[in-house]
Structure 1
């Protein structure tokens, strides 16, 4: 069944209606070709509404609410992906999958091998595009809470921000001698509120980066013998952490 994320202003609980206007009308009725009688789910905050289109006008449509249900919240620990900024096309692929896989926040990191090293190099238009990608991924995955993207910052700023929230961290490093199992086991008990996962961009983290992370008690580990692409490493690590810490 198709799902669409909408803002709360489109919800009329008194009359049990969803109002489709402007861009939402264009996307749902004109692009996706939903007609009178079409049924789909609308996601608004923590609720999913099964609706049926009852009226279509020139630039507006109404849909009656048939059922509603609670959307399952993200599981703890809340996962933070700390990502050394890769190429934009690579990041957009990671962003979409991060929304679908339940990442809570992404912290963009500026390191030696980052594709972009200054926040000023990322235009407002990029953030608008990323917002659309996240909206589509939220609809696809029936997710209620939005993913937060933190602006590109230095490793010192990012680590300081996470330490202020008492969020422990682990970092994937191709030359690490420790295994994933050895660094994740101590984090199972007690159950963590949140966990930060650090992944490098193309070229990975330098020894200088790793030395800094170690000085901040961020544990480095290997993801195996193969050298993985950035997007592969992200999906692999997210899957491992969810399996070990979220009871999948």
Structure 2
């Protein structure tokens, strides 16, 4: 069933109003009609089963038939501090990690970051693109919220911010701890992934001095777009959100 997100203020009584690009998608792509059924989420983990009652040029309205709590949000809140990679790799990371259940993705500038965002215009353009990918990923996998894509931060500031959370891990190929060491993390965790080339030893030491645990992801060196997906999956498995076969 088609799924859409709306702001809570667009839900009044038993009526839902959809605006923006989704109106065009409903009319021209899905070609939905009056009485067709859709699912609408308010972004606060509440799903509404809706029957379309009106289709206008700038809005689609619907009648709420049923309401249910969205059960697809994981029991752990992961904030992914992802070192900015080259090309369009960050888009892939956003899409896949949101499918896996990440709560927030923070583009992070590190010592080995090659990508440069030279102006506010560059940043806004990137954020618009990344947030659209986040929205579509959240729709596709039936999330109960749209995970936030934050503005880029420098690693030092990211480490300070992460201290507000209960635990943190940083992927580092020379770490002695194996992935199973995530057994001791809390249900609100910061995950740090470096860009191409990884983190410098000094950056890892800085993170470690703030209580962030370095972890190795195994004997093979993973690409930056692979490392985050792997570590998020390991953490989700630890909390029972993703179960192994058998």
Shorter chain as denominator, the TM-score bin is 0.7 to 0.9
In the alignment, which residue of structure 1 is the partner of 2:50? 51
Residue 66 of structure 1 corresponds to which residue in structure 2? 65
In 2, are the aligned partners of 1:110 and 1:118 still within 8 Å (CA)? Answer: no
Aligned position for 2:188: 194
**CA-atom RMSD in angstroms:** 2.3
1:184 matches 2:182: yes
- Structure 2 CA distance for aligned equivalents of residues 48 and 137 of structure 1: 17
Q: Which one of 205, 211, 226 corresponds to residue 211 of structure 1?
A: 205
Segment of structure 1 superposing worse, 89-98 or 69-78: 69-78
Deviation of 1:246 (Å)? 4.2
Q: Which residue of 1 aligns with 2:174?
A: 175
Contact 1:3–1:42 (CA under 8 A) maintained in structure 2: yes
Deviation at 1:237, TM superposition (A): 0.8
Per the alignment, residue 114 of structure 2 pairs with 115
Match of 2:92 in 1: 93
1:125 is paired with a residue whose SS is helix
- On the 8 A contact 1:118/1:152 being kept in 2, the answer is no
SS at the partner of 1:151? coil
Deviations 1:87-131 (A, max 9, x none): 251111111222222212223221122133557474212212222
103-112 vs 66-75, which deviates more?
66-75
Question: Residue 64 of structure 1: CA displacement?
Answer: 2.2
Q: Which residue of 1 aligns with 2:145?
A: 145
Q: What is the TM-score normalised by the length of structure 2?
A: 0.86
Conserved in 2, the CA contact under 8 Å of 1:43 and 1:142?
no
- Of 151-160 and 118-127, the range deviating more from structure 2: 118-127
| Aligned residue number for residue 7 of structure 2 | 7
Q: What is the alpha-carbon distance in structure 2 between the residues aligned to residue 147 and residue 126 of structure 1?
A: 16
1:131 aligns with 131
- Aligned counterparts of 2:60 and 2:238: Cα–Cα separation in 1: 45
Contact 1:76 1:194 in 2 (8 A): no
TM-score where L is the length of structure 1: 0.85
The 1:36/1:173 distance shift into structure 2, 3 A limit, reads: same
C-alpha distance in 2 between matches for 1:138 and 1:2: 12
Aligned length: 240
Structure 1 residue corresponding to 2:235, chosen from 236, 241, 245: 241
Residues 117-159 of structure 1, C-alpha deviation per residue, up to 9 Å, x if partnerless?
5574742122122222122122222223332233222222111
Distance 1:60 1:179, change over 3 A: closer
* C-alpha displacement of 1:173: 1.3
CA contact (8 A) 1:43 1:139 kept: no
What runs of 5+ residues in structure 1 fail to find an aligned partner? none
**How has the CA–CA distance of structure 1 residues 184 and 124 changed in structure 2, closer, same or farther, with 3 Å as cutoff?**
same
